[in-house]
């Protein structure tokens, strides 16, 4: 080998070593698989939607559900401890500052304290070996309500809504971009369910979601509607924004699946004329709803013993068909909410149906699953702990011991 060739070879080896070092401890995507430190990574976690707000004392329902900020914080600490001791791999949580009233309690007046409290949550999860999937929910969620702007303001860089959303993403992602405690970033919760839904005349947030003295608008307008194509634009823009800041972490959407009438909504908005998608249309729309540069496709699934809908992911066979199509497109799958409907809880108190579905999803090599919901007394019919669902949590622990423990 010439001196020139040797130099090129050494330079390439150095670059590859640097790349490997940068990826160490962070989950990466390889086609439909996730990798961690060179080995395939598959994991089951849980949802604690109000994790940071209950811990920080800003959640609207603290007095109703816990009685005090101290009790709420203690419950969140216990949720993290229980997850760690039960070999739950990660917690997904709704990581935006909350309703306008909640923002005024801490995030707006004292952002340094807000982020310091977030650091405490990350430290607790790190201590107990639990990763986090923060659902940023800045698209536009409650920022538009706070600034009394229509939801479509998220498309205009000159609006307060756009600037607040992107500033929040920038601050959050920049703070934890080098922290492997973040499993991946999520854009928001179930945004595609709102695609092509005409919000003109819908009731806006009630006054109780605002600070005293604020007079919110009573109704939304058509400019609060986001079309399928608008959401695709937001997904692409925000994902690229995150990736420009953070080269370490993957990004997922947080979607639940598209509506079973997705095609007719897109074709007839705003004068909606209902028609259910065929299975082929519905699967194609789900794939289209997860555009590049998103790394991981997000779907939600709740078990029903009787499914009144022809589509929507509520039957296991339909879910499996969607998983296979997504894997065929070389994209990993995240079942971001995985749980039972009310009738399923009553008829299946041990959650055997979820255990059976985990078996099938394991056979299909689904990468990530997050149980709905963990230590969340706001939904007593759904909430679970290691004590209340011991067989299910034992199945989760076994799955993670096989696929996630490294």
pLDDT (tens digit per residue) in 147-181: 999 999 999 999 999 999 999 999 999 999 999 99
Strand order in the sheet with 27-30: 27-30, 33-36, 39-40
Per residue in 265-276, pLDDT (tens digit) is: 999 999 999 999
Structure-token pair, residue 317: 């066979």
Residues 6+ apart with CB under 8 A from 247: 22, 177
Average predicted confidence (pLDDT) for the chain = 93
Per residue in 226-252, pLDDT (tens digit) is: 999 999 999 999 999 999 999 999 999
Per residue in 5-59, pLDDT (tens digit) is: 444 343 444 433 334 434 689 999 999 999 999 999 999 999 999 999 999 999 9
Structure-token pair, residue 141: 């969620």
pLDDT the model gives residue 5: 46
pLDDT the model gives residue 345: 80
β-pairing, 131-135 vs 90-94, is parallel
What's the rounded Cα separation, in Å, for the pair 220 and 224? 6
What's the rounded Cα separation, in Å, for the pair 148 and 321? 42
CB atoms within 10 A of CB 248: 20
β-pairing, 333-340 vs 39-40, is unpaired
- Considering the entire predicted model, what is its pTM? 0.93
Q: Which residue, 48, 186, 25, 26, is CA-closest to 121?
A: 48
Extents of the domains making up the chain: 42-403
- Helical ranges in 134-227 per DSSP H: 142-146, 160-176
pLDDT over 90, % of the chain: 87
What's the rounded Cα separation, in Å, for the pair 23 and 122? 20
Strand partners, 371: 46, 338
When pLDDT is averaged across residues 297-312 and rounded to a whole number, the result is 79
Structure-token pair, residue 170: 């920038």
**Which residue in this structure is represented by tokens 């007095």?**
63
pLDDT the model gives residue 312: 53
**CATH entry, 42-403, from 3.40.930.10, 3.20.20.70, 3.20.20.80, 3.90.1150.10:** 3.20.20.80
Indicate the pLDDT class of residue 344, thresholds 50, 70 and 90: confident
When pLDDT is averaged across residues 304-330 and rounded to a whole number, the result is 83
Higher pLDDT, 150 or 381: 150
Per residue in 193-228, pLDDT (tens digit) is: 999 999 999 999 999 999 999 999 999 999 999 999
CB atoms within 10 A of CB 281: 18
CB 405 within 8 A of CB 49: no
pLDDT the model gives residue 7: 43
């Amino acid at each position: 080998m010439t001196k020139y060739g040797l130099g090129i070879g050494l330079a390439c080896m150095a670059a590859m070593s640097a790349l490997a070092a940068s990826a160490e401890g962070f989950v990466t995507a390889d086609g439909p698989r996730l990798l961690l430190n060179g080995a395939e990574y598959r994991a089951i976690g849980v949802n604690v939607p109000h994790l940071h707000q209950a811990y920080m004392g800003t959640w609207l329902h603290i007095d109703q559900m816990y009685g005090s900020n101290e009790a709420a914080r203690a419950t969140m600490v216990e949720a993290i401890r229980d997850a760690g001791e039960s070999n739950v791999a990660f917690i997904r949580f709704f990581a935006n500052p909350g309703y306008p009233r909640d923002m005024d309690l801490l995030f707006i007046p004292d952002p340094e304290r807000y982020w310091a409290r977030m650091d405490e949550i990350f430290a607790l999860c790190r201590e107990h070996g639990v990763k986090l999937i923060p659902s940023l929910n800045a698209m536009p969620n409650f920022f538009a309500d706070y600034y009394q702007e229509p939801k479509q303001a998220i498309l205009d860089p000159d609006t307060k809504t756009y600037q607040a959303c992107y500033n929040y993403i920038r601050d959050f992602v920049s703070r934890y971009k080098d922290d492997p405690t973040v499993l991946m970033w999520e854009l928001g919760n179930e945004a595609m369910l709102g695609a092509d839904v005409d919000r003109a005349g819908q009731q806006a947030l009630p006054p109780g979601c605002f600070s005293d003295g604020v007079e919110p608008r009573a109704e939304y307008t058509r400019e609060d509607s986001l079309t399928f194509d608008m959401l695709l634009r937001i997904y692409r823009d925000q994902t690229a924004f995150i990736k420009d800041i953070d080269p370490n972490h993957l990004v997922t959407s947080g979607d639940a699946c598209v509506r079973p009438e997705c095609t007719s909504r897109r074709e007839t908005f705003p004068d909606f004329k209902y028609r259910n998608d065929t299975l082929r249309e519905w699967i194609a729309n789900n794939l289209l709803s997860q555009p590049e540069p998103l790394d991981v496709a997000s779907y939600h699934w709740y078990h029903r013993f009787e499914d009144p809908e022809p589509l929507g992911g509520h039957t296991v066979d339909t879910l499996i068909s969607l998983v296979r199509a997504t894997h065929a497109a070389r994209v990993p799958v995240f079942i971001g909410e995985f749980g039972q409907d009310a009738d399923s809880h009553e008829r299946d108190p041990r959650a055997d149906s979820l255990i059976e579905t985990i078996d099938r999803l394991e056979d299909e090599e689904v990468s990530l699953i997050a149980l709905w919901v963990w230590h969340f007394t706001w939904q007593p019919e759904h909430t679970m702990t290691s004590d209340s669902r011991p067989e299910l949590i034992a199945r989760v622990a076994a799955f993670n011991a096989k696929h996630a423990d490294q």
